[in-house]
Amino acid sequence: MFDIAAILINYNSSQLTQECIQSVINKTAYTINFQIIVVDNCSEKEDYLKLKQFCDNHTFPNLQLVRSNINTGFGAGNMMGVHYSSAKYLAFINNDTVFLNDCLSILMESLESDRSIGTVGGQSYKENGARMQAFDHFASIKKELFGRDFLEKFDSKKYPKRKAEYTQPTKVNYVQGSFMMVRTEDFNLVGGFDTNIFLYYEETDLCKRLEKINKNCFLIPEAEYIHHHGASTPSSIKIKIELKISLLYVIRKHSGYLPYLFLLNYLRLNYFLSSLFKPKYWPLFKVLFVGAPLSRSLKTIQKIQIIN
């Protein structure tokens, strides 16, 4: 068994994936026994073959590339990677990240030091060295209505300031899914990622379920990495629709039907008014109008691509 399984997803961004893989190998201490599992989430043939050539020719012995013939999204893609893993800890790493130091060793040490810690993540930076917000607060009605600043002002213990600079491990609601590590035992106990979610809020949902079994989430600022934010998921109205579908799903799952209904109607009104001035929001309003069901997710619009 390995100490750590580092799991990456590639989707039409093989160059970023190669840079991420190389940074993980270069920065991780030789004393750590780890494997790297790359899941290609139904990329175009040319992109996949470039990545396959890179992996086939690499000298790192524990690098494995597996391919899904459909785009299963973030959670299901990572779950596919978990299927091929054999490690005490699971590190989920966005392919648009580059390690600046020995992140795997640092996060593993944090998890080994305290069994009450369920999830850990490092401090992210932009390409220019500017510090990024590396954690967030759970999805809630209060957060959607009043915003993060309100929560941080009135309950700073439960909601630490996201924009502050931290030098010591800090308990947070959840760390960003761009890079997080979890104990395999805990991950399995809560059922892993919810594969109903195609994109966004997967880490929120996972950390919420871990919290319910008294497993805390911590930001470990000593572990540092660059995140090319949004490089692997370009912004579009389709992505905004996916964001709201996932948000409402998570609210209903963890808060119940009435909070879900309240937020749904709030968003309906908001985007109906917005669409009057910005027609690009009309498709989003139409999805909200019918309840933002999972059946409207990008996950349901798939073409199987078999590459021989």
User: 146 pLDDT band (50/70/90 cuts)?
Assistant: very high
Residue 234 has pLDDT above 70, yes or no: no
Residue 290 has pLDDT above 70, yes or no: yes
Q: Can you read off the two tokens belonging to residue 3?
A: 């100490």
Share of the chain above pLDDT 90, in %: 90
∠ CA 49-55-59, nearest 5°, is: 150
State the burial class of residue 4 (Cβ atoms within 10 Å of its Cβ: 0-12, 13-18, 19+).
buried
User: 235 pLDDT band (50/70/90 cuts)?
Assistant: low
Count the alpha carbons within 13 Å of 194 in the hemisphere toward its beta carbon. 20
Rounded to an integer, the average pLDDT of 221-228 is: 96
Rounded to an integer, the average pLDDT of 126-136 is: 94
Rounded to an integer, the average pLDDT of 5-28 is: 97
Rounded to an integer, the average pLDDT of 157-164 is: 93
User: 308 pLDDT band (50/70/90 cuts)?
Assistant: low
Lowest mean pLDDT among 37-41, 55-59, 158-162, 229-233: 229-233
Rounded to an integer, the average pLDDT of 261-288 is: 95
Arch. (CATH architecture) of 2-227 = Alpha-Beta Complex (3.90)
Distance of CA 307 to CAs 41, 52, 58, 161, 259, Å?
12, 12, 21, 47, 44
Beta-strand (E) ranges in the chain?
Answer: 2-10, 34-41, 63-68, 87-94, 97-99, 117-125, 135-136, 170-172, 174-175, 179-183, 216-227
| pLDDT tens readout for residues 168-188 | 999 999 999 999 999 999 999
pLDDT of residue 302: 74
Cα dihedral value 23, 119, 195, 253, nearest 10: -150
Chain mean pLDDT for the chain? 94
CB within 8 A of 282, min separation 6: which ones?
Answer: 275
Distance of CA 144 to CAs 151, 160, 262, Å?
10, 17, 11
Residue 124 has pLDDT above 60, yes or no: yes
pLDDT of residue 230: 62
Beta-strand (E) ranges in 200-291?
Answer: 216-227
Lowest mean pLDDT among 86-100, 233-247, 281-295: 233-247
Pairwise CA distance, residues 135 & 200, whole Å: 14
Q: Provide the sign of the torsion angle of the four alpha carbons 165, 166, 171, 173, taken in this order.
A: positive
Residue 163 has pLDDT above 80, yes or no: yes
Tell me 57's DSSP state: H
pLDDT of residue 246: 97
Judge contact between 179 and 132, C-beta under 8 A. no
User: 76 pLDDT band (50/70/90 cuts)?
Assistant: very high
Residue 307 has pLDDT above 90, yes or no: no
Domain ranges, ordered by start, for the chain:
2-227, 237-300
Number of H helices, E strands in the chain: 11, 11
Share of the chain above pLDDT 70, in %: 97
